């Protein structure tokens, strides 16, 4: 049996990793400024993280959700306190797409409606309703096409207000659009979503799968707008590489047995990983560090030619180039051994490093970036 050919692959085989660095099988070291799609939040093989997982593995790795799990309770309490949502409830699952699927279910259970509003250039996952609410026809199979989802232009308040009605079940938006090119929702836009959702009895869903967990310089990116959504989905940086995701659920949602379910969600190892991440984020002040290092990076980048715009908060940065970024990204990887990311916007390079990136490591990227940027002659 062969692997199904899903991804174009770089000719690099990671063998080990530490902090912001990956060592390949040929011994070459790479600076990781992409974190495996924003997954590595506290650095590769962080000692506390490794110890937490090893200790848990020696005790018990898995049993079903039919028994009590103090680790789940501890995780919910710690996540609520650190994120600023202590009165919300937590449902644990395995991936960001699964988190969004369950958020849609919760919304529809709550108000009995079916219509979902999503936004242009959105990305919410690759399953069922999550992919139907993703603005990319290339990854939508015919079975995913549904009349239940309407796409509204991003950051367009008037268009949103025209689309709202008492038929709308939920409005879903990313805290910062990731795949869409690090596009930041305006504060006024987020406040309008909150207002119209309340007015029409719709559910506001904040997809913080990529932009959450301190990456933006706040625990959640939407906290820059000082609003509270009804449901918040989390994944990626939540487990630092161990698969775990969740939905933060506002108090007005009433839980009923069999409403939601999961086999692997909230297993012992996943909870140990997620607790380790929160403990390191707190003990090493990684949220404020993300904000500081991100500002440093964006300030240094602003001095370079060949860049038309820099977007981002904290260590979620989109660099809009004057040319397609594919060649730049390849040269950074091959010649300078630095991982970066692309986006659906072909000119936008994405920077999503571990939150413990140092200014010295940021400088290595700046120096390499200077050498590969070629201004476009107009």
pLDDT in tens, 265-309: 999 999 999 999 999 999 999 999 999 999 999 999 998 989 999
Q: What is the pLDDT of residue 378?
A: 39
pLDDT score recorded for residue 372: 93
pLDDT for residue 375: 53
- 232 close to 85: Cβ distance less than 8 angstroms: yes
pLDDT, residue 181, reads 95
Separation in Å, CA 6 to CA 9, 223, 278, 343: 9, 35, 32, 17
- Rounded distance, CA 63 to CA 80, Å? 24
Instruction: Give the pair of three-digit tokens for residue 119.
Output: 């936004």
What are the extents of the domains in the chain? 55-251+262-283
pLDDT of residue 164: 98
Beta strand extents in 96-167 (DSSP E only):
115-119, 149-152
Architecture of the domain delimited by 55-251+262-283: 3-Layer(aba) Sandwich (3.40)
Low-confidence ranges of the chain (pLDDT < 70): 374-378
0.95 cut: is pTM over it? yes
**Given this model, what pLDDT does residue 200 score?**
98
Supply the pLDDT for residue 328. 94
So what's the pLDDT on residue 78?
98
CB within 8 A of 12, min separation 6: which ones? 24, 30, 333
Cα distance between residue 272 and residue 265, in whole Å = 12
């Amino acid at each position: 049996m062969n692997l199904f050919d899903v991804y174009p692959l770089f000719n690099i085989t990671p063998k080990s990793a530490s902090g912001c660095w990956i060592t390949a099988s040929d011994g070459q070291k790479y600076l990781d400024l992409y974190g495996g799609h924003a997954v590595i939040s506290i650095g590769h093989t962080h000692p506390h993280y490794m110890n937490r997982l090893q200790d848990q593995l020696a005790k018990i790795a898995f049993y079903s959700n039919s028994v009590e799990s103090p680790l789940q309770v501890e995780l919910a309490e710690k996540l609520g306190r650190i994120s600023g949502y202590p009165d919300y409830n937590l449902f644990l699952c395995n991936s960001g797409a699964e988190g969004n699927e369950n958020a849609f279910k919760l919304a529809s259970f709550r108000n009995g409606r079916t219509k979902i509003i999503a936004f242009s250039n959105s990305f919410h996952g690759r399953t069922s309703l999550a992919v139907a609410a993703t603005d990319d026809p290339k990854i939508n199979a015919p079975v995913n096409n549904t009349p239940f989802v309407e796409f509204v232009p991003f950051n367009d308040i008037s268009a949103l207000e025209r689309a709202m009605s008492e038929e709308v079940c939920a409005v879903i938006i990313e805290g910062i659009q990731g795949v869409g090119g690090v596009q930041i929702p305006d504060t006024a836009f987020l406040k309008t979503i909150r207002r119209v959702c309340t007015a029409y009895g719709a559910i506001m869903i904040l997809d913080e799968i990529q932009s959450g967990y301190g990456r933006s310089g706040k625990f959640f990116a939407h906290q820059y707008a000082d609003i509270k959504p009804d449901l918040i989905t989390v994944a990626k940086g939540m487990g630092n590489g161990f698969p775990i995701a969740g939905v933060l659920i506002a108090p007005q949602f009433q839980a009923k047995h069999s409403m939601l379910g999961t086999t692997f969600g909230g297993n012992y190892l996943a909870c140990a990983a997620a607790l380790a991440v929160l403990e390191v984020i707190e003990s090493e002040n990684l949220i404020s560090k993300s904000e500081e290092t991100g500002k440093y990076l964006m300030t240094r980048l602003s001095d370079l030619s060949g860049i038309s715009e820099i977007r981002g908060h904290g260590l979620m940065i989109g660099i809009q180039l004057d040319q397609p970024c594919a060649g730049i990204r390849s040269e950074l990887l091959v010649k300078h051994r630095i991982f970066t990311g692309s986006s659906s916007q072909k000119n936008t390079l994405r920077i999503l490093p571990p939150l413990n990136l140092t200014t010295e490591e940021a400088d290595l990227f700046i120096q390499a970036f200077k050498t590969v940027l070629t201004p476009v002659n107009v």
